[in-house]
Amino acid sequence: MALKQMDALAALREAAGEVIETSLCDVQGSWLALVNTEEGKRLAFAAKGEAALSALWKDVEKEADVKDVHVSVMALNANNAALVRRYVKWTAPTACGTKGASIGFSDWLGEADAVVAELFGKRQLKPVLVDFTTEDSEALQRYFVQAVDTATWGVFEEGYKEGYGANAAGLKTEEEIVKALLYGYSMIG
């Protein structure tokens, strides 16, 4: 039986904290959202009964049962970001296509993704939120997967569903290309 949004929201608030409602989404009859806790932002999952997705989350920090709703609160890590991209399709990079223009941002530190996505809502523009090179990775000690994870959390938080690009540039080896594709990058250079 699918969990109703109102019940999920109440359980998430009671068990996890302040729900960032723009991120709240239905995932296979359960609900997923970002929450603000005393420890910072976390991912929270609410399910009624057994949910196959429950076993896939990593770094579960807290679990609680609120009435008949099970809530899990997890860290924002690479595994959980990959699961969010897999089950919440609008959080994954997409090809920019031919409708409108694409504008790239070099947000090397991953601080602007949530803000930039808001600028593009209802416009014929698609942001390229990740524009990362091998040199950036080495200089910043921030890896390709971390850059796309940051964009995932940013668009998820804002509820931005219009799609965004992720460019992995300056790749020199087959291994780098394969990794970028596995991480979901939509453009390779």
Domain boundaries, the chain: 5-76, 90-188
Which pLDDT score, from 0 to 100, does residue 115 have? 53
Q: What is the mean pLDDT of residues 20-25?
A: 95
Average pLDDT over every residue of 33-52: 92
Query: How confident is the model at residue 127, as a pLDDT?
Result: 80
Predicted pLDDT at 116: 56
Q: pTM (2 decimals)?
A: 0.81
Distances (CA, A) of 121 to 42, 87, 92, 116: 24, 22, 16, 10
Residues whose CB falls within 8 Å of the CB of residue 112, separated by 6 or more in sequence, listed in order:
105, 154
Taking alpha carbons only, the member of 137, 145, 129, 152 closest to residue 179 is 145
CA distances from 90 to 51, 95, 99, 169 (A): 21, 12, 17, 23
Range with lowest mean pLDDT among 6-15, 19-28, 138-147, 172-181: 138-147
pLDDT interval class at 164 (50, 70, 90): confident
Per residue in 106-157, pLDDT (tens digit) is 554 455 555 555 555 556 667 888 888 878 777 777 788 888 898 899 899 9
**Which amino acid, 17?**
G
Mean pLDDT of 179-188: 85
Tokens of 6: 């109102």
145 Ramachandran zone, left/alpha/beta (phi>0; psi -120 to 50) = alpha
